[in-house]
Structure 1
Amino acid sequence: MSALSGVTVRDLAIHVNGVLVVSDLHVGRGAASNVELPVGEGDDMVERFDALCAEFEPEEVVIAGDLLHSFESVPGPVRETLAGLNEAARNVGARIVVTPGNHDTLLEAVWSGPTEAEYRIGDTVICHGHVEPQSDAERYIVGHDHPTIEIEGRRRPCLLTGDGVYRGGNLVMLPSFNKLVQGVCINEMSAGDFMSPLVTDADALAPTVRDSDAGETLSFPPLGEFRHRL
């Protein structure tokens, strides 16, 4: 099995084995910014999430950590956004499972649905990626670092994938689903620059970019072969 075996990339999410996976929603991030009507959160996030649920009709949705943004309080709009996400999943008969991330310290205050430190789909384990998983798997799907890549002066959110790069298993790192999150530019990053301990060899990771305007998924060589072209 390769890292992207059976994976469909849409927007800033993936669909695999009947499960929709999104990461790093950071709901409430807009309240921490000076942007009056932040794009990427609130209605925009719910609409994009609803479109993904309508397209794939997943059996389950897994949020791979950092559903929330703030460590200290829950801004008012957060509950409304979470209600919209729940309704979108409920409309297609899916349940949402959260694998809590390091930002989710207040999760219990706003989330009564199921949570799992690590969520397994067959040979795949989904977790946030801020700590090493306890489970062995053929593939790990994580978030946490919010990868982006700069191509011709434009930064784009990207997936990072590698075969056999973590404990002999494959790795898929998702970008943040929140368009307000700037992310980190991975062009010149080494393994030590990543926050996730699952990244042990940055050169072995290949970027994948979804061009929603063109309806295309663009796959690039591993960074070790590709950096000099960027």
Structure 2
Amino acid sequence: MTAVDLPVSPVGRALVVPDADALVVADVHLGKAVDSHVDAPIDDGRDVRDRLESLLARTEPETVVVAGDLLHSFNRLPRGVERDLAGLESVVDDAGASLVVTPGNHDTMLEGAFDGDTSPEYRLADGETVVCHGHEEPDLEADRYVVGHDHPALSVEGRKLPCFLYGPEVYEGADVIVCPAFTRLASGATVNGMSSRDFQSPLVADPNSFHPVVWDDSSGEPLWFPPLGECRRLL
């Protein structure tokens, strides 16, 4: 497992872009616990808020960007979402950061709950990185796209671990980084056996070229794996 030299760095389930002074998270899915109509093992609103607060203290970004699916809603707002969203906004504001949301396919009710900055695609301050949800092809040109949408996870020795996917020059010559779901209520899509037709994002046309990256809590470092086309045979 060899690290790749990149101007971005996974931390937990978030991505730090130092040159842009930004922190990116994807697929927060506030309201998923209530909307699932089952007893959830965690309070997703509080869990998201607490983990984001910890990341903000650690990374001190100027901007927090949500790469889509901040909410888990289609035709109504699940109970408690407005409270949880206000708590998340408060945590970002208390850290002295600004919050930007690039709406995803689950954010159809976002306008009724969030009056902050939104954009279908958001170019970070480094000028090279564009953040979007990834469910549609982007309009903005970039050297690097950071997306969510597919909730990638890697199965390692029987354990299913949320992972990033890094694809060098895989989309019209640009790099693509797929972030794992920030919510811990999403089980994730196990990428070990997935082919291109199994991915929902049009930015992932050749998954064999993507490196899985897993955050290791014990070492506090990301673990890099060979490209999927190679590591499928090893795992």
Q: Residue deviations 1:52-103, cap 9 Å, x none?
A: 1111111110000001112121122111211111111111211100000011
Aligned equivalent of 2:212: 207
Residue from 73, 78, 82 that aligns with 1:79: 82
One-letter code aligned to 1:123:
E
Q: Secondary structure at the match of 1:76?
A: coil
Is the 1:162–1:205 Cα contact (8 Å) retained in structure 2? yes
Q: Counterparts of 1:4 and 1:74 in 2: how far apart (Å)?
A: 41
Q: Secondary structure at the match of 1:42?
A: helix
Aligned equivalent of 2:118: 115
Q: Residue deviations 1:143-167, cap 9 Å, x none?
A: 0000001010110000000110001
Q: Counterparts of 1:181 and 1:213 in 2: how far apart (Å)?
A: 22
Is the 1:40–1:178 Cα contact (8 Å) retained in structure 2? no
Q: Counterparts of 1:145 and 1:4 in 2: how far apart (Å)?
A: 24
Aligned equivalent of 1:187: 192
Gaps of 5+ in 1: none
Q: How does 1:94-105 map to 2 (within 5 A)?
A: 94-105=97-108
Are positions 1:55 and 2:58 aligned together? yes
Is the 2:11–2:221 Cα contact (8 Å) retained in structure 1? no
Is the 2:4–2:224 Cα contact (8 Å) retained in structure 1? no
Q: Residue deviations 1:151-190, cap 9 Å, x none?
A: 1011000000011000100010001000001111000111
Q: Counterparts of 2:196 and 2:171 in 1: how far apart (Å)?
A: 12
Are positions 1:172 and 2:177 aligned together? yes
| Identical counterparts, % of pairs | 48
Q: Counterparts of 2:54 and 2:203 in 1: how far apart (Å)?
A: 31
C-alpha deviation, 1:33, in angstroms? 2.7
Q: Counterparts of 1:187 and 1:179 in 2: how far apart (Å)?
A: 20
Aligned equivalent of 2:28: 25
Does the C-alpha gap of structure 1 residues 209 and 114 become closer, same or farther in structure 2, counting only changes over 3 Å? same
Are positions 1:155 and 2:160 aligned together? yes
Aligned equivalent of 1:64: 67
Is the 1:3–1:172 Cα contact (8 Å) retained in structure 2? no
C-alpha deviation, 1:9, in angstroms? 1.4
Is the 2:35–2:78 Cα contact (8 Å) retained in structure 1? no
* TM-align CA RMSD: 1.5
C-alpha deviation, 1:4, in angstroms? 6.1
Gaps of 5+ in 2: none
Does the C-alpha gap of structure 1 residues 40 and 190 become closer, same or farther in structure 2, counting only changes over 3 Å? farther
Q: Secondary structure at the match of 2:6?
A: coil
Q: How many pairs were matched up?
A: 229
Q: Counterparts of 1:36 and 1:225 in 2: how far apart (Å)?
A: 39
C-alpha deviation, 1:32, in angstroms? 2.1
One-letter code aligned to 1:133:
P
Q: How does 1:31-46 map to 2 (within 5 A)?
A: 31-39=34-42, 41-46=44-49
Q: Counterparts of 2:112 and 2:11 in 1: how far apart (Å)?
A: 30
Q: Counterparts of 1:4 and 1:185 in 2: how far apart (Å)?
A: 25
Aligned equivalent of 2:14: 13
- TM-score (norm. length: structure 2): 0.93
Q: Residue deviations 1:5-35, cap 9 Å, x none?
A: 2212111001102101000001100002354
C-alpha deviation, 1:45, in angstroms? 1.0
C-alpha deviation, 1:193, in angstroms? 1.0
Bigger shift: residues 5-14 or 152-161 = 5-14
C-alpha deviation, 1:3, in angstroms? 8.1
Residue from 90, 95, 104 that aligns with 2:93: 90
C-alpha deviation, 1:40, in angstroms? 6.4
Q: Counterparts of 1:214 and 1:123 in 2: how far apart (Å)?
A: 30
- TM-score (norm. length: structure 1): 0.95
